[in-house]
Amino acid sequence: MDSHAANQARTFLALFAELRPLLRTDRNLPARLQQRLARERRFGSRDRRLYRELLYTAIRHLPWIEAALAISDVTAIHATAWLAADVPATRQLKTALVPTDWPELPPTVAAKAAHLGEIARASLLPDWFHAHCPAAFESPNLDALHTRSPLWLRLQTDKPEKVFTEFNARGWTWRTSDLIPDALELLTESDVTQTDAYTHGLIEIQDLGSQLILTSAAPQPGTRWLDACAGAGGKTLQLARLLGPTGHVTAHDIRPAALAELQTRASRAGLRNVSVSPAPAGLFDGVLVDAPCTGSGTWRRSPHLKWCTTEADIASAAKLQRELLTRFAPHVRPGGHLLYATCSLSRVENEDIATAFHAAHPHFTAASPARTILPATHNTDAFFAATFRREL
Ligand SMILES: C[S@@+](CC[C@H](N)C(=O)[O-])C[C@H]1O[C@@H](n2cnc3c(N)ncnc32)[C@H](O)[C@@H]1O
C-alpha cells in the first residue's frame, strides 16, 4: 500500500469511528458531516469529496462495514474502497487499496454480497421495513438504493443553449431526459452552484423523480395553485413554470425560513407568479400537499435515514399526513385537483393515506391511478403521487 493511500485509509477510519455513535440516531448527519469535513483545514476540496464518498459508502453498507471492522481495519478498508463508486475523487484510492485479485464492482447487491462473503450476510435495509415496501428488498430496486445518486437539474429557462454552452465550456458531460425535456443529468461531478447558470436562476437542483411528480397532475397553464407544504420551493418553482405568467402559485409552509429561501430562489429565476402566505385562504384550481414524510425514497442519497427511521416515525408521519390532507383539501375548488405526494417508499405513508382520505372524503375521486416511482424505475429517488378531483 502506498503511504499516501495508507494515510487516507487511516483518516477515513478515524472519521468513521468519530461519527459511528451518531449513525443510527442523528437525522441531521449530512450537515454534521459537511461541517466536520469543512473544519479540517488540511483537506482540499478533492479530499473532502473523497472522504464524503467513503463515509457515505460505509453508511450505505453499514452492517457490512461494521462486520468487516470486527475482523480488522484492513478488511473494512478493502470492503469500503471496493464498494465506493468509481468517480474521480475515489479512483486513485481504489487502485491503491482494492486487492488486485478482487473483481470489478458488480451492479447488484447480491453479487457484491457473494464476493464479500461472511461480512455481507446482513440485510442492507432494516428488516422491519419489508412489510412497508417488499419491492425495495428485491433487485433492481435494492441495487438502485445502494448506488450513488445521480445529479439531476431542472432547466428553468426557454433558452437552455446558454446552460449547455457553459457546461460544454467547462468540459462537463450531461444529458437531457427522455421523460421531461427540462430535466438534465449532470454526469461530471461538480459544484453547479458555482456556475453562471445557477447564479442567474437558469437551473435548479431537483431530482428527476421529484420533477415527474408534478407531471402526474398535469397542471394547466393559467390556473391557480396552492403549494401547501412548499418548503424552500423545489416544486413551487417547477409549478410556477408550468402554470406560466397567467397562472399563480401561493406557497405555504410552517417554516418561515424555508419560505424566505423560496422567495430568493423565485426572484433568482425571475418568476413573478409566486407569492408566499402564512395563512392561505380561498379556493384554488389545484392544491399540492407534498407532505412531510420519513424520506425512505431518499435512502440512496441520505443512507443514514435507513438506520435512524423507526416504525413509530412512520406512524407519526402518517398521522400528520392525514391531518394535512384534511386541512388543505377544502381549498380545492369544485372540479379542481388535489395532489398528494411523498418521497416515502412506505405503503403506510402512501397508498394507506390515499385510501383513508378517499374513504373520509367521498366527494374527491381518484383523477388517475396513484403513481409510485421506485428507485430503479428511472434511476431516481422514490416518490408517490395520488391525484384526486373534487366533484362539481
Ligand atoms: C417534503 S417537504 C416539502 C418539499 C418541497 N415541496 C420541495 O419540493 O422542495 C415537506 C414540508 O412540509 C412542511 N410542513 C410540516 N408540517 C407542516 C404543516 N403543518 N403545514 C404546512 N407545512 C408543513 C415542512 O416544513 C417541509 O418543508
Residue 102 lies in a domain: yes
Question: What are the pocket residues of ligand 1 if the criterion is a CB atom closer than 6 Å to any ligand atom?
Answer: 228-232, 234-235, 253-255, 258, 290, 292, 324
Q: Quick one: 264 and 172 in the same domain?
A: no
Q: Are residues 171 and 251 in the same domain?
A: no
C-alpha cell at 40: 479540517
Mean of the pLDDT values across residues 342-363?
Answer: 98
Indicate whether 245 and 377 sit together in one domain: yes
Query: Is residue 93 included in any domain, yes or no?
Result: yes
Q: How many domains does the chain have?
A: 3
Whether 77 and 164 map to the same domain: the answer is no
Q: Tell me, yes or no, whether 237 and 350 share the same domain.
A: yes
Residue after which a domain boundary falls, among 101, 122, 143: 122
114 with 94, same domain: the answer is yes
| Element spanning 341, H or E | strand 332-342
Residues involved in catalysis: 343
Mean pLDDT of 179-204: 95
Distance of CA 109 to the CA centre of its chain: 20
Same domain, 79 and 163: no
Q: What are 81-129's pLDDT values in tens digits?
A: 999 999 999 999 999 999 999 999 999 999 999 999 999 999 999 999 9
Is it the case that residue 1 has pLDDT exceeding 70? no
Q: Are residues 109 and 218 in the same domain?
A: no
**Domain match, 285 and 330 both:** yes
- Confirm if 94 and 82 have CB atoms less than 8 A apart: yes
Q: Are 342 and 384 in contact (CB under 8 A)?
A: yes
Q: Is position 138 within any domain?
A: no
Q: Is 145 domain-assigned?
A: no
Pick the atom of ligand 1 nearest to 255's CA. 25
Q: Are residues 229 and 349 in the same domain?
A: yes
Q: Residues 292, 259: contact at Cβ < 8 Å? A: no
pLDDT at 294: 97
Mapping DSSP to helix (H, G, I), strand (E, B) and coil, where does residue 100 land?
coil
DSSP 50-93: HHHHHHHHHHHTHHHHHHHHHH-HHHHHHHHHHHS---HHHHHH
Give yes or no: residues 21 and 161 share one domain. Answer: no
pLDDT of residue 2: 78
Q: Is the distance from CB of 182 to CB of 154 less than 8 angstroms?
A: yes
Distance, CA 289 to ligand 1 centroid (Å)? 8
Amino acid identity of residue 184, one-letter, is L
Beta strands 274-276 and 248-251: pairing type? Answer: parallel
**What does the CA dihedral 346, 350, 352, 357 come to, rounded to 10 degrees?**
160
Q: How far is the CA of 98 from the centre of ligand 1 (A)?
A: 43
**CA pair distance 64, 257, nearest whole angstrom:** 39
Whether 136 is in a domain gets the answer no
Question: Is residue 180 situated within a structural domain?
Answer: yes
| pLDDT number for residue 160 | 96
- Ligand 1 center–CA 228 separation, angstroms: 7
Give the helix ranges, DSSP H, for 244-362: 256-268, 304-308, 311-328, 351-360
> Going by CA atoms, what residue is nearest to atom 9 of ligand 1?
234
Mean pLDDT of the chain: 96
pLDDT in tens, 357-381: 999 999 999 999 999 999 999 999 9
pLDDT tens column, 43-68: 998 899 999 999 999 999 999 999 99
CA distance 135 to 274: 38
Residue nearest to atom 17 of ligand 1 (CA): 254
Domain holding 75, by residue range, is 3-122
Report the complex ipTM.
Answer: 0.99
Beta pairing class for 174-176 and 151-155: unpaired
Strand partners, 154: 183, 204
**β pairing state of 383-390 and 371-373:** antiparallel
Among protein residues, the one whose CA lies closest to atom 19 of ligand 1: 254
